[in-house]
Amino acid sequence: MRSGTRPATADTWWLPRAVVALRVRIFEKANGDRAVTLPNATHGPEVFERVYAHPAANGRSAGAGLSDLFWYWLSPGPEVHQEHLEPGERYEDVAATTRRMLAGTSGELMAQATRAVARTLDTVPDGRISQVRLRDLVMPAWAEFCYELVFREPCPPHARDLITAHADDVISALKCTSLRHPGRRARLTEYVRRRVVAGEVPYPLPRTLSLSEQVHYLQGTMFNTAVVQLSEATAHVLLALARHPEAQQRVMDDSEEDRYLTRVLDETMRLYPLFGIAHRITTDEIPLDEDTVLPPGTVVCFSYPGYHATGYDRPDEFDPDRWATLSVKEAHHIPYGIAANRPCPAWRLSPLVLRAAVREVLRRFRLDSTVPHTRSIPHRAPCLLIPHGMPPAPRRLDALRRRMRARNAVEDVTRGVRQLVLGTVMVLHARRRRLAGRYFEEHPPSGCPAGRGRGPGPPPHVPARR
Ligand code: HEM
């Protein structure tokens, strides 16, 4: 263990791991898809890269049982959620609109993020230590930030609360810590609809979409994915700094234009990538090796943690300094996906605004946390915010730290059981509703190759052999 690294006692607790393992199994097996996860014991990072970049690894939703689950989680309007759209005109139209909304100079974007985070931090008392959950702390700030990206005006509290409630609902359901609440999502849909109808979105919205689809697109991409991803990423970086006081100090002392903070961000996203798995549905044969071919209709699950663990010394260790000698372009490092296959449209914006957010938090507080850091952070990252200029009595701080660790250990158990139960309920509910399946029965994807549908085909999980 590197100096400054705190022991993560509850990391060894079996239940959260069992939940994560179960989720991976569900992703692989939902509704009997032919599924393969890369990299695996026989097919390493090179195969991962080749298959991910293969032109036939381009199906997003049609033909996979797994899609029913994702559409359920991201509904409403998952059929126009950018990441679920099949390639084609609608996708291009939507992707171009997103790019326009995310554009801006580095200075403007960073200043906008700093202001949003500062407004949120103004609500935290600066005369005493506060215990917060980092994800909950920063989500309203990112809600305001994304509102401003879309409407180009300051975000009123009412809109911020609607966006936060919805984003929190989606991410909690995705982590199986809560069920979905249709009321929250309907309230935001209604709000966005009113604004779109009133012509208050200062961008042309995708012309290939109906009014209701445009509303769902804005809600899903700009007020859900963007807010959730930025909140999760901020929580990860701040938690990593809270657990590594030396790294935190170095970020504070960094006089070289955020050079060390950039390494911290890269290392955090390497070790805790926001995507556990990104998937594609193959639309043609893809050779896996000399003997094996993936048939069309295979669900390929690309494991980010698996790939990010290959090719590094001590891959399980949080070590920002590894990036002093490694190049992010050459290492196995794809926090925003791969350029050849629909990477994240916010790959430029996100690191800028994350850096601004982290700086604003550290300008006001020292961070301290004793909870374990896992990729899925279902605990929403409990952390102590210690205002600068009021160093706490060591005994008091110790007591707070111990209490945080103990409370989290207890919560881990109840949360783990809850995740298993709620996860099962949602998988079954999604299966009954068949949102994706029914949509594609009514709107068959153009160029749908034979065998892409979920017909009998080869047995699940066994790639066809030549
Ligand atoms: C630190 C923050 C973020 C990380 C680490 C991240 C990561 C990713 C990754 C890995 C993918 C590709 C997954 C795949 O190959 O299927 C992706 C796709 C996507 N991301 Fe992000 N993301 C972040 C922030 C955002 C933000 C702020 C937005 C705002 C709109 C956004 C919107 C999207 C969309 C729409 C896609 C689907 C792209 C497509 O299919 O064309 N992401 N993101």
Tens-level pLDDT at each residue, the chain (466 residues) = 333 333 333 343 455 666 666 666 665 555 567 889 999 999 999 999 999 999 999 999 998 888 998 899 887 778 889 999 999 999 999 999 999 999 999 999 999 999 999 999 999 999 999 999 999 999 999 999 999 999 999 999 999 999 999 999 999 999 999 999 999 999 999 999 999 999 999 999 999 999 999 999 999 999 999 999 999 999 999 999 999 999 999 999 987 778 999 999 999 999 999 999 999 999 999 999 999 999 999 999 999 999 999 999 999 999 999 999 999 999 999 999 999 999 999 999 999 999 999 999 999 999 999 999 999 999 999 999 999 988 778 899 999 999 999 999 999 999 989 998 999 899 899 989 999 999 999 988 775 443 344 333 333 333 332 2
Pairing between strand 299-303 and 35-38?
Answer: parallel
Q: Side chain identity at 247, as an amino acid letter?
A: A
Ligand 1 site-directed mutation target among 52, 229, 231, most atoms within 8 Å of CB: 229
Would you state the pLDDT for residue 257?
74
Element of type H or E holding 437:
helix 435-442
Q: 278: Cβ below 6 Å to ligand 1?
A: yes
In a domain, 267, yes or no: yes
Is the CB of 229 within 6 Å of ligand 1?
Answer: yes
For ligand 1, what atom is nearest to the CA of residue 302?
A: 15
Residue keyed to tokens 């029913």: 68
Q: Running DSSP on this structure, what letter comes out for residue 452?
A: -
In contact, 117 and 138? CB cutoff 8 Å = yes
Is 382 within the bounds of a domain? yes
Residue 409 lies in a domain: yes
Residues 215, 88: Cα–Cα separation, whole Å? 20
Determine if ligand 1 sits within 6 Å of the CB of residue 233. Answer: yes
What letter represents residue 30's amino acid?
A
| Share of the chain residues as helix, strand and coil, in percent rounded to the nearest 5 | 55, 10, 35
Nearest atom of ligand 1 to the alpha carbon of 222: 30
Q: What's the pLDDT tens digit per position in 386-422?
A: 999 887 788 999 999 999 999 999 999 999 899 989 9
Rounded CA separation 419/147 (Å): 31
Instruction: Please indicate, yes or no, if residue 160 is contained in any of the structural domains.
Output: yes
- What is the spatial order of strands in the sheet that 35-38 belongs to? 35-38, 299-303, 277-281
Phi and psi based region of residue 87 (left: phi greater than 0; alpha: psi -120 to 50; beta: remaining) = beta
Would 319 be classed as within a structural domain?
A: yes
- CA atoms of 377 and 173, how far apart (whole Å): 13
Q: What is the pLDDT of residue 464?
A: 32
Long-range CB pairs of 101-108 (<8 Å, 24+ gap) are: 101/149, 101/150, 101/203, 101/222, 102/149, 102/345, 102/346, 102/348, 102/349, 104/149, 104/349, 106/352
pTM of this structure: 0.92
In the chain, the number of structural domains is 1
Domain membership of residue 454 (yes or no) is no
Angle between helix axes 349-364 and 134-151 (nearest 10 degrees) is 130
d(CA 219, CA 226): 10
pLDDT for 80 equals: 85
Give the ligand 1 atom nearest the CA of 338: 15
> What is the per-residue pLDDT for 458?
36
Query: How far, in Å, is the centroid of ligand 1 from the Cα of 189?
Result: 21
The answer to the question of residue 119 being in a domain is yes
214-246 confidence digits (pLDDT tens): 999 999 999 999 999 999 999 999 999 999 999
End-to-end CA, the chain: 47
Nearest CA to ligand 1 atom 29: 226
Cβ 219 under 6 angstroms from ligand 1: no
Considering the domain boundaries, does residue 463 fall inside one?
no
Q: Which domain holds residue 381?
A: 9-442
Residue 466's pLDDT is what? 29
Give pLDDT tens digits for 348-360. 999 999 999 999 9
Using a 10 angstrom Cβ sphere, with 0-12 exposed, 13-18 middle and 19 or more buried, the burial of residue 234 is: buried
> What is the model's pLDDT at position 74?
87
Q: How far apart are alpha carbons 12 and 15 in whole angstroms?
A: 9
Burial class (CB in 10 A: 0-12, 13-18, 19+), 15: middle
Q: What is the CATH number of the domain that holds 28?
A: 1.10.630.10
Q: Which atom of ligand 1 is nearest to the CA of 275?
A: 10
Q: 214 CB less than 6 Å from ligand 1?
A: no
